[in-house]
Amino acid sequence: MPPFSLPDPVGLLLPVVRVGVPPPVYPAGMARVLPSTLSPSKVSAFKDCALAFRFSVIDRLPEPPSPAAVKGTLVHRALEQLYCAAPEGRTRAAALAALGAAFDHARRHDGEYAQLALQGEAEERFRDDAERLVHGYFEMEDPTTIRPIGIELLLEAELDGVRVRGIIDRLELDAQGELVVTDYKTGRAPAPRHEQGRFGGVHFYAFLCEAMLGRRPARVQLLYLGDGVTIVATPSEQSVRGLERRVGAVWQAVERACAADDFRPHPGPLCDWCAFQAHCPAYGGDPAPLPYAPTVTAGV
Ligand code: SF4
């Protein structure tokens, strides 16, 4: 197979490119507004707990930011900036400087960072943790050897009538000219017996690359910066078709839930971190009140 070349008019995807499709028109007659898109996080949210999915994705109830998520965003920004530089400029010092700039910006302008109310030693620990993740990245690979063609790349495609989308942290070419997707993870690496559970997003990325760029990636790798663990998956025709079937089944379940306004709670370990316990019948709450009148679905 010849090396991958970018199709016209995509061109060079660095530093940030949005590749998308027009929004599909969804059916009318839903008791609740259908979500306009599905992403890896929405698919797993619906599978984890349909009611929490409703609160978050459809009702858009506010959720307090978590320190881990805000820290992850800052580290991703630093690595994004790192790859905007030419190879010789991708140094550890440059990445730490980019992280410092991301912090300064967050402290002045980011409402989520402000909500964390970090001060004194707590803020220092938070910042040290983020720097440790950046150092961890440099222990895992040499960024001067990477050939990126897309950073923070938003890809969208239509699948069985639903728009699916995902943001790829880094898309690159390997020595053979094949596509490689890299996803930075700032949380803990899963135990080996749970690795398969993290591959839903991997196959999602493979599907999006194939749909939008006409080529399935040779490799999708998850870099767990805190643990120095890399999990590599090799997408296949079978795994991508399996992803299509699973996403199609989830979308049909979402449609049925929206049509009947039937989103059931699924109590489990994730409840400990759920921001919606006060609205959840499993915790004595009332999920019924709507913040708005039900309407026909919108396509955007
Ligand atoms: S508390 Fe648990 S069961 Fe209730 S909405 Fe949240 S995740 Fe679902």
Same domain, 247 and 121: no
Among 129, 144, 159, the domain-final residue is 144
C-beta of residue 250 within 8 angstroms of C-beta of residue 242: no
pLDDT at residue 300 tops 80: no
53 and 155 together in one domain: yes
Residue 198 confidence (pLDDT):
61
Output the pLDDT for position 27.
Answer: 53
Please tell me the total count of domains within the chain: 2
* 50 and 88 inside one domain: no
Shared-domain flag, residues 168 and 281? yes
Residue 28's pLDDT band (boundaries 50, 70, 90)?
low
Q: Which residues pair with 164 in a beta bridge?
A: 38, 157
Ligand 1 binding pocket includes 61 (Cβ within 6 Å): no
Q: Degrees (nearest 5) of the Cα angle 220, 221, 227? A: 165
Q: Are residues 95 and 241 in the same domain?
A: no
For residue 159, give the nearest of 206, 223, 110 by alpha carbon: 206
- Same structural domain for residues 246 and 108? no
CA atoms of 237 and 258, how far apart (whole Å): 32
Which residues are CB-neighbours of 45 under 8 A, at least 6 positions away? 52, 53, 56, 57
* Contact assessment for residue 184 and residue 205, using Cβ atoms and an 8 Å cutoff: no
Candidates 272, 277, 286: which one to mutate for ligand 1, based on the most atoms within 8 Å of Cβ?
A: 277
Q: How far apart are the CA of 188 and the centre of ligand 1, in A? A: 23
pLDDT of residue 287: 83
Q: Which atom of ligand 1 is nearest to the CA of 268?
A: 2
Query: Which of the two residues, 60 and 133, has the higher pLDDT score?
Result: 133
CB of 204 shorter than 6 A to ligand 1: no
111, 183: one domain = no
DSSP states of 184-216 as a string? EE-SPPPPGGGGGGGHHHHHHHHHHHHHHHSS-
Q: Flag the least confident range among 89-98, 137-146, 236-245.
A: 236-245
Sign of the C-alpha dihedral computed for residues 63, 45, 49 and 198 taken in this order: negative
Same structural domain, 79 and 171: no
Render pLDDT for 231-273 as a digit per residue (tens, 0 to 9).
Answer: 999 999 999 999 999 999 999 999 999 999 899 999 999 999 9
Residues 187 and 292 grouped into a single domain? yes
Q: What are phi and psi of 292, to 5 degrees?
A: -155, 165
Residues 71 and 195 grouped into a single domain = no
Q: Give the nearest ligand 1 atom to 276 CA.
A: 6
Say if ligand 1 is within 6 A of residue 223 CB. no
Residues 222 and 281 in one domain: yes
Q: Distance from the CA of 260 to the center of ligand 1, in angstroms?
A: 19
Say yes or no: CB of residue 265 within 6 Å of ligand 1. yes
Band (143; pLDDT cuts 50, 70, 90): very high
Q: 223 with 276, same domain?
A: yes
Q: Which residue range is the domain that position 129 belongs to? A: 67-144
Looking up residue 23, the CATH number of its domain turns out to be 3.90.320
> Which of 86, 115, 144 finishes a domain?
144
Percent of the residues in the chain that have a pLDDT greater than 90, as a whole number: 74
The structure's pTM equals: 0.83
Average pLDDT of every residue of the chain: 86
What is the average pLDDT across 158-175? 92
Ligand 1 atom nearest 280 alpha carbon: 4
Give the per-residue pLDDT at 9. 39
